[in-house]
A = this chain, B = another copy of it.
Amino acid sequence: METGEGTRRVTIVDVAAHAQVSTTAVSKVMRNAYGVSPAMRERVNQAIAELGYRPRAAARGMRGQTYTIAVILPDIRNPFFPDIVDGITSHLRDTDYQVLIGTRSGIPRTDTDSELRLTDAIVDRGMDGLVLVAPAAGPVRLDATAKGIPTVVIGRHLRSAHHDTVVDDDARGAALVVDHLVGLGHRRIAHIDQREPERGRAETMPNAVRTRGYGEAMRAHGLEADLVSTGYTEEGGYLGAKQLLERTDRPTAIFAGADIVAMGVLTAVAEAGLRVPHDISVAGYDNTSFAALGPIGLTSVDQAGRQIGTDAARLLLDRVARRDRVSTFITTSPTLVVRRTTAAPAS
């Protein structure tokens, strides 16, 4: 127990000596490896407890695993991501694995570069697995990463032989919103999405797929798409809505690509002196906890983030155990949650 000043940390050698066995035996017991008698297991465990021994991940990592899983989030402020993280950690709770989160939450967003740096850092630290949430990297890069470390990609519409994928049917989710608004009588429905600078990613990013779904649904109803591209942040929503509200012929409904975007939209609408849903309807995507808030009551698309996280964790552990197994692609179905920010247009 002694946490004294100069006391050297207890190592596997100390445990082995204390239990009068070999270090191999201790190692095996820790990893629940095959080939240890119950008696020895008992003795070793007791020695571990008595000495308060804890294995060092770095040393283990040099030969075996580090028992650490990293989750890379594009943005720590988006309240949707905690749902995913919850799902992952809850699935890993009873295992030996530890979850650590990396984020490029700094100033620059949609930054492929900082994501790359983070991914490298994860690999350098010998982590056992990686969950990438809505990564910005291209398919080639993702494959290269996945070849080096078991990887699950969340949110990209991208099949790969090297990583597993869990993704929401974003096109369907967007259509759900459009259908709902059209059903209420709206014709001028605008969409605020995230600008997708790189051509190659356009088809596979969740935002792009939502945009496509929106466009197709509008067309199906014989309506014209009305797109404003800013970004999936509160500020993006604010700026996008400002732009839309300045028009003489402003839309009667705004479909924001994410709840966090809708938050900015609501702020802009309030500033313009308009009332929701009387003057304008607003819908979001993700069904975050903030959408349900009393003063908000945002109509939104639920994509079951917790479930997505759980699925990702399961796939990841699976792949850590068998790195060569065939890859899996899971699609989840979104549902619409109607609240108080959408209603029939006033006119």
Contact = CB atoms under 8 A, between A and B. Distances in A.
Nearest to A4: B147
A320 interface: no
A30 interface: no
Central interface residue in A58, A107, A270, A292, by most chain B CB within 10 Å: A58
A139 interface: no
Contacts of A147: 3, 5
A126 B77 contact: no
Nearest to A120: B54
A56 B61 CA distance: 10
A308 to B, nearest CB: 15
A85 interface: yes
Interface string A112-147: 000000101101111000000000000000001001
A267 B294 contact: yes
Contacts of A144: 3
A132 B332 CA distance: 36
A105 B293 CA distance: 20
A222 interface: no
A68 interface: yes
Contacts of A57: 58, 121, 124-126
A116 to B, nearest CB: 12
A55 B106 contact: no
A243 to B, nearest CB: 16
B293 A267 contact: yes
A62 interface: yes
Contact of A263 (B76, B86, B266, B293): B293
A98 interface: yes
A106 B313 CA distance: 14
A38 interface: no
Contact of A58 (B126, B266, B295): B126
A99 B102 CA distance: 7
Contacts of A316: none
A316 B292 CA distance: 39
A268 B295 CA distance: 10
Contacts of A33: none
A224 B66 CA distance: 55
Contact of A66 (B58, B70, B123): B58
Contacts of A102: 98-101
A106 B88 CA distance: 9
A249 interface: no
Contact of A89 (B89, B105, B289): B105
Given A58-B61, A126-B56, A89 B66 contact: no
Contacts of A118: 98
Top-5 shortest CB links A-B = A270-B294, A267-B294, A58-B61, A101-B101, A58-B126
14 contacts: A54-B120, A54-B123, A56-B125, A57-B121, A57-B126, A58-B59, A58-B62, A59-B62, A76-B76, A100-B102, A267-B292, A270-B294, A270-B297, A290-B290
Given A85-B105, A90-B107, A125-B125, 17 more contacts: A3-B148, A5-B147, A55-B124, A56-B125, A57-B126, A58-B59, A58-B125, A77-B82, A77-B289, A98-B125, A100-B102, A101-B102, A267-B294, A268-B294, A270-B294, A270-B297, A276-B295
